[in-house]
Amino acid sequence: MSVYAAFLRAMNVGGRRLTNELLRSHIDELGRAAACATRRST
């Protein structure tokens, strides 16, 4: 089984909001099962 990781920056910039649930749903639509999203602020 292959494992993929994506590190996204600036997800909530410019008045746009991307929730973890929405991000997971987009990943699921791409055919990736068991997607997991976490958030970290610095």
Q: What torsion, rounded to 10 degrees, do the Cα atoms 12, 19, 29, 33 define?
A: 120
pLDDT value at 41 more than 70: no
Strand, coil or helix: 24:
helix
Write the CB contacts of 36 (distance below 8 Å, at least 6 apart in sequence).
Answer: 24
Quick: pLDDT tens for 5-31.
777 777 777 787 888 788 888 888 888
